[in-house]
Copies of this chain bind each other. A is one copy, B any other.
């Protein structure tokens, strides 16, 4: 029997999932892999400023959560392909709604920041 979902309770398993979303790199990887299957270094080149360590670390935890599939091919040098599982695809769809929000409201946020930084911050 599951305990009542309550993201504000630290013991709730839903919070684990929310903490995963609270991972900048995980979000970017999910969006990227939803577009196409990619190899390790291809992902690395596309997501600017991600270090090898964070990429392999994040991919590993995404794989553990059943969101990303990892396939190794015995080529030379070895090829490793990453793609989304069906579960991962459903999450990616939800996460893309966030990027849409970001793209359409970025100007309002930046305007608010400028107002706040000027000192007087009146809000509506």
Contact = CB atoms under 8 A, between A and B. Distances in A.
A120 to B, nearest CB: 13
Interface string A75-100: 00000000001110011001101110
Contacts of A16: 106, 109
A16 B105 CA distance: 11
Interface centre among A31, A49, A102, A117 (most CB of B within 10 A): A102
B85 A91 contact: no
A36 interface: no
Given A7-B28, A21-B98, A85-B124, 10 more contacts: A8-B46, A8-B47, A21-B22, A64-B116, A66-B116, A66-B123, A85-B123, A86-B124, A91-B105, A95-B98
19 contacts: A2-B107, A7-B99, A8-B47, A10-B49, A14-B99, A14-B102, A14-B103, A17-B101, A19-B24, A21-B22, A63-B121, A64-B113, A64-B117, A66-B108, A66-B112, A66-B115, A66-B116, A87-B112, A94-B101
